[in-house]
A and B are shown apart, each in its own frame.
Chain A
Amino acid sequence: MKDYEEYFRTNRLPHIWCPGCGNGIVMKSIAKAIAKLDLDQDKTVIVSGIGCSSRASGYMDFDTLHTAHGRAIPFATGVKLANPELNVIVITGDGDCTAIGGNHFIHGARRNIDLTVVLFNNNIYGMTGGQASPLTPTSKKATTAPYGVVDRPFDPCQLAQAAGATYIARGTAFHAAQLPDLIAKGIQNKGFSLIEAITPCPISYGRRNKLGDSPAMLKLMSESAVPLTAYGKLAPEQQEGKFPIGVLHESHFGEYSKEYSHVIERAEGGQK
């Protein structure tokens, strides 16, 4: 098994993320998952959108694509359909995936195209200065919501499940030992896989909401994240403020690029 650092563009380090930002932990988990599966570096493509999280593609030594805001999944769909042999991993953030790219996200899941979407959820638009995203929890403060957010946040896992994704998992930056396994299973799944990785943003989100520094935010994650089976046993009032982690959903459905190859055969009039 290769060392995970062999998958980094080490000449680009140190990275631009703020001190204590959990994106580095999630990026390391992706590299560890790839090392675990021993994927060919020339047959793995990393596609990212715009945002703090999406800078990760620049630090990873694969064929990488840093695309338009919210449009990582459409670009990745194109890559996958042009060459279905490739392993395509999408790195996206909460704003990128569920706000600007929300439509692309649900339709990617609906098609069940073989992409592995790693959603770095830091609950805020960090890069642009801390605006509220669709995953900012109700009543939390942001620069665009100085008195607290009024809206309810999305649950991206439930959203993907309803849209038809075939593998859904959730992990956190605190549970960094588990995260590579969750991502590796997502890469192995032939179909649309979503891994929501909850990561601390101590500068734009934590500081404004008095959640403390990065270690304090990680400790908070360790208290509020509960493994799925244990979460199911909690009474509804105990579930308040907690969320399940682990593999949340698995199902089977025809993979899009495979189904599409049958369309190509039919169009060519082939009797296969």
Chain B
Amino acid sequence: MSKLIIRTNRCKGCNVCVTFCPKKVLALDTLGKIYAVDEASCIQCGQCELRCPDFAIRVAPKEAK
């Protein structure tokens, strides 16, 4: 299951999630929309979802180990 749910139609490319991601998982593509560069290193801390002003990114609930 994917750790991040990204809705690019809502993204305005403000760079907030990219800046506050502690693991540098996110980046902006050539069209200025976010995408996950390195989803494997995502720790699902929720910093991106917390401050996304456009409701464009959701962190999936952590799967039970």
Contact = CB atoms under 8 A, between A and B. Distances in A.
A98 interface: no
A68 interface: no
The secondary structure that dominates the A interface is loop
B50 A14 contact: no
B50 A24 contact: no
A202 B16 CA distance: 12
Interface residues of A, number: 25
Contacts, number: 57
B16 A215 contact: yes
Nearest to A215: B19
Contacts of A15: 54
Contacts of A22: 53
Interface string B25-62: 00000000000000000000000001111111000000
Contacts of B10: 13-14
Contacts of B55: 5, 8, 13, 24, 28
Interface string A215-246: 10011000000000000000000000000000
Contacts of A8: 55
Contacts of B50: 176-177
A24 B54 contact: yes
Contacts of A13: 10, 54-55
A171 to B, nearest CB: 13
Interface in A1-51: 5, 8, 13-15, 17-25, 28
Given A14-B9, A213-B14, A215-B15, 18 more contacts: A8-B55, A13-B54, A13-B55, A14-B10, A14-B12, A17-B53, A20-B12, A20-B15, A20-B53, A24-B55, A25-B51, A25-B53, A174-B51, A202-B14, A215-B14, A215-B19, A215-B20, A218-B51
